[in-house]
Amino acid sequence: MPLSLINWRQVWVLYRRELRGALRERSIVVNSFLLPVFLYPVLLWLTFSAMVFVEGLSEGRVSRIVLLDLPAEHAELRDSLSAAQSVEVREDTVSVEQGVAWVLDGELDAVAEFLAPGPEAEALPDNFAVRISYDRAEERSRRASDRIESAVTGYRDRWLEREARDLRVSREQLEGFLIYRNNVATERQVGAFLLSLMVPLFVVIMVALGCFVPSIDTTAGERERSTWETLMSVSASRMSVVTSKYLYVATLGLAAGMLNVTAMVISIGAVLRPLAGELAEELQFRIPLLAVPVLLIGALALALFFAAAMMLLASFARKFKDGQAMITPVYWLALIPVFLSGTPELHLTPTLATVPIANVAVMMRDAINGRFDWLLIGESLLVQMVFVVLILWLARAVLRFEDYLLGSFDGSFWRFARQRLLARRSSDALPVE
Amino acid sequence: MTEPTVAVRGLAKTFYDEARGEVRAVDGIDFDCRPGEIFGLLGANGAGKTTTLRMLATILRPTAGVARLMGRDVVEEPVAARRTLGFYSATTALYPRLTARETLEFFARVNLYPEEKVDARVDYLVGRFGIAEYVGARVEKLSTGMKQKVSIARTVAHDPPILIFDEPTVGLDVINALEMARVIRELRDEGKTIIFSTHIMSEAEKLCDRIAIIHNGKILASDTLDALRVATGRHYLEDIFVDYVGGVEEMPGFIRESGSAAE
């Protein structure tokens, strides 16, 4: 970009004018400021609250079950299940087939069928196996299955204790191959992991959304309001005008991204607490200090990218609505790499660093998890900036066409590229001012 | 005689139209304008008036010829040329979300009026154009007449020596059109060079010191109204105009005194 053509005093005046107008436009304020701050925290809170509510409803329902062929020596298991308020043990004498049919009809929630143990488990007297038949498509049935399993597991533990005592061995000797889980991650790391799953995705969405309306408003909006020719007649160079607009759109994109990160970090604890139960008290939703500049630079790189791409496309529209139609597919296309890179196991690699948007999203996720590979971070940012420069170069090429500048070209960017940039009529181009 | 502030020589503009091929909208025109003068470009719709003025405002780039504003070539020094110019047309709207004061401040600053004098200049314009009452209101809330005043004020916000008014009365009622004519005369009397385009004969007759009749991209005649009367032996500008362009049937956008378009 020929910087000598830019008068920064005029850029500042133009930039302030854009920003002042934007802050008085409801749709821009909503998209760039209110949504990033409130929408996703509120949306997450609503989602999780709804999940907890549904969970609660399901928890409150009594599970209707039948126990088939329960050995008499294990009658205690029936007693413990019957004693539970959340379980109703039906005394019906039915066949397994009949019980399963009732489960499918919704008249019953689960059938627990007690079987003789397999040959490998016969050595232990009174051992048994249980087959639980339930309808996985029904929450109530799943819940009944869980309750039976939990009751059987608890009963087995007590039974094993007793058996071990009778045999004069320790329970560990009887059971063998015990598994002890030891979570070595700190509460802060677990919190960061949860943040890393959500923050990069929302940052990309928010930066794109933050750029969306301003990029149309400052291009197609100018044409629709008939202020474009007014602007072309002021004594600022075209490059100064475009630079101010570009910086304005990128600023709002960046503001949306950073506001969203801040809102998410502040609110995520409150949002996730109802789901995490006891663990929530110990979780720390904080990100490493070093991740803050990485997030900031990542959001900036995304803002510069989205601002350039969206402005370039929207500038071919004559009306705001046309601009929306031109940008929307690109908005969704840009989100594809972010969703694809959402796998938690995926980390930044030299290959992934070459994929725009996805590279920055994964870079941010790694940083939140305390993983900083500066070489790959550098590569990601470099690749992202190469794409930004390519788009700006394209914008500069487009700016040289008079009918584009005046808004008399009737068509989209793609048509323009075919007819002018790639065809013989590129000789119509003017020197950039 | 004073030096011309606007000098145009052999100015031409060719467009490429997908349906019609190459269209020569302006075909090698010459004219000069001087300070304290209203120079009128009179022509039917599509005659080449707006294209000419857009080239002077550096919005369009000439295909051939030279145009200088205060000695600045519009092709070689477009930014410097624009600094000497205030451009007003029916298609140059105001920013609806700015107040009238913010609008004037913006146009003064972006046209590099000395920063330390911007406030005083805006105060002067507010007083001069009688917009004090609604100076704090957003443009989107103003009536057409109010917007027109703010629009003229923004055109002269940076005190340019040359002013272009491209069909400024289009869409205005009689009262506002008369007000516009009064302001243009005042600006002329202050020594501004004014280029004024119209297709309304009475407007050109009353307002312009010199009139150029433009048709099919060419200037057919350019002189004072009196000199044009002598040259054609006709009294009314409408007749003079028809004499030059060869009949109203050639002018689809021609407006008679009554304001009706000719067939």
Facing residue for A230 by CB, picked from B78, B80, B92? B92
B263 within a domain of the structure (yes/no): no
Residues B62 and B183 in one domain: yes
Kindly report which listed range (A195-199, A296-300, A305-309) carries the lowest average pLDDT score: A195-199
Cα separation values, B148 from B29, B168, B174, Å: 31, 9, 13
B208 or A196, which is more confident:
B208
Residues B146 and B241 in one domain: no
Residues A229 and A375 in one domain: yes
Q: Is the Cβ pair B82, A9 closer than 8 Å?
A: no
Q: Is the Cβ pair A235, B158 closer than 8 Å?
A: yes
Q: Is the Cβ pair A234, B91 closer than 8 Å?
A: no
Residues B172 and B244 in one domain: yes
Residues B235 and B213 in one domain: yes
Q: Is the Cβ pair B92, A14 closer than 8 Å?
A: no
- Whether the per-residue pLDDT at A81 is higher than 80: the answer is yes
Chain A CB contacts of B104 below 8 Å: none
- Whether the per-residue pLDDT at A55 is higher than 80: the answer is no
Q: Which residues of A touch B (CB under 8 A)?
A: 7, 9-10, 13-14, 17, 20-21, 24-25, 225-227, 229-230, 232-237, 402, 405-406, 425, 428, 430, 433
Chain A CB contacts of B110 below 8 Å: 10, 13-14, 17, 234-236
Most confident of A131-145, A148-162, B58-72: B58-72
Residues B18 and B128 in one domain: no
Residues B38 and B166 in one domain: yes
- Whether the per-residue pLDDT at B141 is higher than 80: the answer is yes
A183 within a domain of the structure (yes/no): no
Q: Is the Cβ pair A227, B94 closer than 8 Å?
A: yes
Shortest Cα distance from B240 to chain A (angstroms)? 33
pLDDT at position A123: 62
Shortest Cα distance from A22 to chain B (angstroms)? 8
B213 within a domain of the structure (yes/no): yes
B166 or A175, which is more confident:
B166
Q: Give the domain range for residue B143.
A: 94-160
- Whether the per-residue pLDDT at B258 is higher than 50: the answer is no
- Whether the per-residue pLDDT at A63 is higher than 70: the answer is yes
Kindly report which listed range (A98-102, A189-193, A429-433, B63-67) carries the lowest average pLDDT score: A429-433
Kindly report which listed range (A3-12, A147-156, A169-178, B6-15) carries the lowest average pLDDT score: A169-178
Q: Is the Cβ pair A17, B16 closer than 8 Å?
A: no
A191 or B145, which is more confident:
B145
Find the mean pLDDT for residues A300-306.
93
Q: Is the Cβ pair A226, B106 closer than 8 Å?
A: no
- Whether the per-residue pLDDT at B260 is higher than 50: the answer is no
Residues A365 and A275 in one domain: yes
Domain boundary among B160, B177, B195: B160
Residues A86 and A219 in one domain: no
Q: Is the Cβ pair A406, B59 closer than 8 Å?
A: yes
Residues A194 and A94 in one domain: no
Facing residue for B60 by CB, picked from A24, A402, A428? A402
Residues A240 and A358 in one domain: yes
> What is the pLDDT of chain A when averaged over all its residues?
83
Shortest Cα distance from B73 to chain A (angstroms)? 14
Q: Among A32, A221, A316, A315, which residue's Cα sits nearest to residue B95?
A: A221
Residues A301 and A204 in one domain: yes
Residues A212 and A299 in one domain: yes
Contact B163, B37 (CB under 8 A): no
Kindly report which listed range (A15-19, A69-73, A305-309, B73-77) carries the lowest average pLDDT score: A69-73
Which residue of B16, B26, B75, B79 to mutate against A (max A Cβ within 10 Å)? B79
- Whether the per-residue pLDDT at B263 is higher than 50: the answer is no
Residues A86 and A127 in one domain: yes
DSSP A38: I
User: Which chain B residue is nearest to residue A226, measuring alpha carbons?
Assistant: B93
A180 within a domain of the structure (yes/no): no
The total domain count for chain A is 2
B106 within a domain of the structure (yes/no): yes
Q: What is the pLDDT of residues A216-261, one digit of tens each?
A: 999 999 888 889 889 989 999 988 999 999 999 999 999 988 888 8
Chain B CB contacts of A235 below 8 Å: 79-80, 82-83, 85, 110-112, 158
Shortest Cα distance from A299 to chain B (angstroms)? 29
Shortest Cα distance from B81 to chain A (angstroms)? 8
Q: Among A329, A330, A382, A375, which residue's Cα sits nearest to residue A355?
A: A382
A378 within a domain of the structure (yes/no): yes
Facing residue for B93 by CB, picked from A14, A230, A237? A230
Domain boundary among B125, B160, B195: B160
Which residue of B22, B59, B110 to mutate against A (max A Cβ within 10 Å)? B110
Residues A318 and A371 in one domain: yes
Kindly report which listed range (A393-402, B87-96, B247-256) carries the lowest average pLDDT score: B247-256
Chain B CB contacts of A425 below 8 Å: 16
B89 within a domain of the structure (yes/no): no
pLDDT at position A282: 64
Q: Is the Cβ pair A227, B112 closer than 8 Å?
A: no
pLDDT at position B139: 94
Cα separation values, A411 from A212, A276, A314, A416, B38, Å: 20, 53, 11, 7, 40
Residues A68 and A48 in one domain: no
**Using 50, 70 and 90 to split pLDDT, how confident is the model at A429?**
low
Q: Is the Cβ pair A17, B106 closer than 8 Å?
A: yes
pLDDT at position A10: 95
The total domain count for chain B is 2
Q: What is the pLDDT of residues A331-377, one digit of tens each?
A: 888 888 777 767 777 888 999 899 889 899 999 988 888 888 999 99
B44 within a domain of the structure (yes/no): yes
A181 within a domain of the structure (yes/no): no
Residues B146 and B253 in one domain: no
Shortest Cα distance from B30 to chain A (angstroms)? 22
Tokens matching residue A80: 């413990």
Domain boundary among A150, A175, A200: A175
- Whether the per-residue pLDDT at A431 is higher than 80: the answer is no
Cα separation values, A283 from A44, A117, A184, A382, Å: 18, 42, 14, 35
Q: Give the domain range for residue A167.
A: 63-175
- Whether the per-residue pLDDT at A95 is higher than 90: the answer is no
pLDDT at position A86: 87
- Whether the per-residue pLDDT at A115 is higher than 60: the answer is yes
Assign residue B226 the CATH number of its domain: 3.40.50.300
A313 or A281, which is more confident:
A313
Own/partner long-range contacts of B181-190 (Cβ < 8 Å, ≥24 apart) = B181/B206, B181/B207, B183/B129, B183/B152, B184/B38, B185/B38, B187/B156, B187/B163, B188/B36, B188/B37, B188/B38, B189/B36
Residues B113 and B69 in one domain: no
Strands B37-42 and B64-69: what pairing? unpaired
Assign residue A86 the CATH number of its domain: 3.40.190
- Whether the per-residue pLDDT at B65 is higher than 90: the answer is yes
Q: What is the pLDDT of residues A403-422, one digit of tens each?
A: 777 777 777 888 888 777 77
Residues B72 and B174 in one domain: yes
Q: Which of residues 22-81 of B touch A (CB under 8 A)?
A: 57-61, 78-80
Find the mean pLDDT for residues A197-213.
87
Shortest Cα distance from A241 to chain B (angstroms)? 10
Residues A166 and A102 in one domain: yes
Q: What percent of chain B has pLDDT over 90?
A: 71
A182 within a domain of the structure (yes/no): no
Tokens matching residue B113: 């009026």
> What is the pLDDT of chain B when averaged over all its residues?
89
Residues B1 and B32 in one domain: yes
A72 within a domain of the structure (yes/no): yes
Q: Is the Cβ pair A10, B97 closer than 8 Å?
A: no
Residues A145 and A249 in one domain: no
pLDDT at position B144: 87
Domain boundary among B110, B129, B160: B160
Domain boundary among A124, A148, A175: A175
Tokens matching residue A431: 């020197």
Domain boundary among A133, A148, A175: A175
In this complex, how many residue pairs, one in chain A and one in chain B, have their CB atoms less than 8 Å apart?
A: 76
Pairwise CA distance, residues A378 & A288, whole Å: 19
Chain B CB contacts of A428 below 8 Å: 16
Residues B184 and B223 in one domain: yes
User: Which chain B residue is nearest to residue A12, measuring alpha carbons?
Assistant: B110
**Using 50, 70 and 90 to split pLDDT, how confident is the model at B53?**
very high
Tokens matching residue B155: 């055109």
Residues B171 and B251 in one domain: yes
Q: What is the pLDDT of residues B97-136, one digit of tens each?
A: 999 999 999 999 999 999 999 999 999 999 999 999 999 9
